[in-house]
Chains A and B, each alone.
Chain A
């Protein structure tokens, strides 16, 4: 037993080092811009994103007796330590390992939610979520619709570490959000840092739709902020305007937001121009109003994401920006059929565009190992594209 424990702690030590190294090795890819605004007042404590996620799950397990947390290696805290200490605190029947089987994890989570429990499932890497694709796309997303509202699995949240990490190669770097964005019934959310992660994860867990929460793994330890200690949520389906300007609109999510914030600073320093930077946060359903209002103001739009270009979520954003129609009222939650859709005013974004909508993304290749610096849509590729856009 004792030797088992030493072994375990050795493994933990190695993992911790691995994650730290990852963050260090690619420190040149982006500079972290911490959130300065707090969503709620009150006591704060310094947390990195891993700790903020742990804190959100801790609050959930504390306040919701039906909530369970499960996945591969979750019992000892998870390979990224997000579940650290939770099994000791809440017991083995609430925080537990499953067999190594992603379709099983997703199906099991759907079942838990169907029977009235709050299910937080962890897929170890987003790259390994594809065996669960059928369960998430055919089952979770369609459960309420196909049963006429009799059954649903809205209490399911699937967490998965995503995105580039410096040397993750093909299967520890992917950003699969666009695959899920084509699935009505799912919510897909990506946070950019600890404050957002806590608020959005708590919102996902409580939301009455199944949510896929993609956590940019490079931020787990490299990002640290003063996070409010108390319980708070951030709205799903809402983007956040992080920096205001007049010359262009930059849209991204996850780690890429920090790249874009730096590009905005570069534009100001080197070109003397200011731009809007928007963190989309919710990939599906996404906040058309915030993005399109900004583009109407600036007349130029640049979208950046790590995932490959073709059919990446940027394509949906670019297409929508050009045919956008404005909705004056979007607050009729679960109202009668007859009352729906009476408050819509049409207004097009197309006439406000000064240049074609531009996308900077990963190349249409699998995510490579040694070529990562050339693959990512880094600050220089984004800046170059912004330059072209401004001089169009």
Chain B
């Protein structure tokens, strides 16, 4: 059978040869179009040698800096024009953030709240970016951006109430601590699934773009680990193809829990992906608050003219990933110390302020004390407050409560009438 098929094949082939020889038809030459291709998928010239590109084919994207590690301006033309009051406010918020992190971290260790995540080492990214935005710009955050919330004017009390999930928490105690959100301050509520906020932020940006006389943009924060999620790919691509007014702000702090960035990607970080998607891209020193400010301010100008921007802010996660993590299990104490001391964004900004004569040791002591008092007071208040009514558990699932959920509420109500002593009802609001 196979043999017969083989013979037929050979016969056919020789026939084809013969036909070609007998043919008098000559095909006209195809126009070469000067060596450029006309493939719809890419605008590119032809080459005549094989050359694969790899991560070393391009120079690494440089890191934009304004200050050196001693808080001195490197090139005076790059120094941002921020007034004294705003600078001091940025620094005070950093101190406030540090104190809040310290005390809430400890309070988790004491079992007073269930969970916490600190922001150590990334304060510069929060303050620099928040200060460069309009308060009307919409923020989508991951979870390590609390400085942005403080800058927007959300009080320590409000943040602490969320961590306690008490009746003053606008989220009604439904989410874990640090999942903040504030409609009033244009900060979309944080959720745990990583990177999901990215394509959402792009969609929100598209909605803003379509509003008449739009002068708002969206900023979306995410870590370098989250950038490995499919949703990040989706967001970069949608932002570019749909021309959205968005700043995609990556906090590259070297770790995703225990995974070092060397196990997260092999390319030149996150920034190198930007141009590949057609995004305006810059890499910036995230420990340099002024550099972040300058980069975000310029990015905002591009974004509001519907040119999406990717910023990769380099930093180091000085604290543990969360209260559920001991980072000494996967990195050295020396490494942490270097970043905590010499490359601290807080220290750099303080040195800059001191150099300008805006700040001194006395102001520092005073500020730290006030910040600590604010947090302690907020915690004392938060602890006294009752938790929301248990029925809040079934509200807001739908805009109108469906009959089935009403029945389930009734079921629980009847159950509690009989078995209430087995539930911590006294901790919760009662009607």
Q: Which residues of A contact B (CB under 8 A)?
A: 66, 68, 93, 96, 98-99, 101, 103-104, 106-117, 119, 131, 134-135, 138-139, 142-152, 154, 184-185, 187, 207-209, 237, 285, 288-289, 325, 327, 330, 332-334, 337-338, 340-341, 344
9 A-B contacts, Cβ less than 8 Å apart? A99-B241, A107-B196, A108-B200, A108-B202, A111-B200, A111-B201, A116-B207, A139-B191, A147-B183
Contact of B189 with A by CB under 8 A: yes
B111 at the interface (CB under 8 A from A): no
Q: Which residue of A lies closest to B413 (CB)?
A: A341
Residue of B nearest to A185 (CB): B397
Which of B95-103, B226-234, B317-325, B365-373 binds A? Answer: B226-234
Contact count band on B: 35 or more
Decide if B179 is an interface residue (CB 8 Å cutoff).
yes
> How distant is B296 from chain A, measured CB to nearest CB, in Å?
20
Q: Which residue of chain A has its CB nearest to the CB of B181? A: A147
Which single member of A101, A110, A146 contacts B171 (CB below 8 Å)?
A: A146
Q: Does B84 contact A (CB under 8 A)?
A: no
Complex Cα distance A107/B194, Å? 12
Cβ contacts B315-350/A at 8 Å (1 or 0 each): 000000000000000000000000000000000000
Which B residues are within 8 Å of any A CB, using their own CB?
138, 140, 169-172, 174-175, 179, 181-183, 188-189, 191, 193, 196, 198-208, 210, 218, 230-231, 233-235, 237-238, 241-242, 389, 391-392, 395-407, 409-410, 413, 431
CB pair B241 A98 closer than 8 Å: yes
Q: Within 8 Å CB of A288, what residues of B?
A: 403-404
Given contacts A150-B181, A330-B406, A334-B400, contact A104 B200 (CB under 8 A): no
CB distance from B263 to the nearest CB of A (A): 23
Contact A340 B409 (CB under 8 A): yes
A115's partner among B169, B203, B398, B403 (CB-CB below 8 A) is: B203
Assess whether A150 is in contact with B182, with CB atoms less than 8 Å apart: yes
CB distance from B391 to the nearest CB of A (A): 5
Q: Which of A110, A131, A332 has most B Cβ within 10 Å?
A: A110
Measured between beta carbons, the chain A residues less than 8 angstroms from B204 are: 111-112, 114-115
Closest CB of chain B to A249's CB: distance in Å? 19
Q: Is the CB of B196 within 8 A of A138?
A: yes
Chain A residue at minimal CB-CB distance from B179: A146
B238 cross-chain contacts in A, Cβ below 8 A: 98-99, 101, 104, 108
B409 touches A341 (CB 8 A): yes
- Other-chain contact of B396, A104, A149, A332, A344 (Cβ < 8 Å): A149
CB distance from A101 to the nearest CB of B (A): 5
B71 to chain A, nearest CB (A): 38
A107 with B400: CB separation less than 8 A: no
Q: Within the complex, what minimum Cβ distance (angstroms) separates A189 from chain B?
A: 14
Of A103, A144, A150, A154, the residue contacting B231 (CB under 8 A) is A103
